[in-house]
A and B are shown apart, each in its own frame.
Chain A
């Protein structure tokens, strides 16, 4: 897994909490920094894709590993 600056574990949380927590965490980060989000909500895959497209924060990686979803988001 690539390097990241901050990690957010949103495991067990359901829509829309992973997105809201991610947004909140990104607010406290600098442009160019990378946030690693871990989630268990299957809906989060499409949601983080949509979040990235609409906010301009780049979704560098989105993958499933052992029942968990991992997202790498670079703050715009």
Chain B
């Protein structure tokens, strides 16, 4: 049986959207898939040594809120200073209490399972980021390199 391949493009840099690429990649690796994640634009935040990911209720009517706030709290109020930090802290607390792994942990599990993590070189340059900001063991490449792997993949996801 040939090894199956999973190619993921991760484009988002918020706490909630950090989960799908790392959950799917680590699970696929456990199932025997050869897996690569290509991080571009805001997705690069997921490769930072010090993760500072937050979640925002702004512009997200689907986000469940404490005390039914999504029903009665004015949308404009969500833009108040401190609101995003509070929501992030509550989300992290909720995840911990439900036994959901932290993003750090899932990322480590991906690296242990030899999931290849690739940073988009163009975005690194665009945002004046430095390789020293990112975790070790990742690669830097461009679109053509992604297609070399994705072209042979069985599953290809854009997240």
Q: What is A's interface to B at a CB cutoff of 8 Å?
A: 12-17, 19-20, 23-24, 40-41, 51, 54-55
Contact = CB atoms under 8 A, between A and B. Distances in A.
Interface of B: 23, 26-27, 30-32, 98-101, 109, 112-113
B99 A20 contact: no
Nearest to A40: B99
21 contacts: A12-B99, A13-B99, A13-B101, A14-B98, A14-B99, A16-B23, A16-B26, A16-B27, A16-B30, A16-B101, A17-B101, A19-B27, A20-B26, A20-B27, A20-B30, A24-B112, A41-B99, A51-B30, A51-B31, A55-B31, A55-B32
A56 to B, nearest CB: 8
Given A15-B23, A20-B26, 10 more contacts: A13-B101, A16-B27, A17-B99, A20-B30, A20-B109, A40-B99, A41-B99, A51-B30, A51-B31, A55-B31
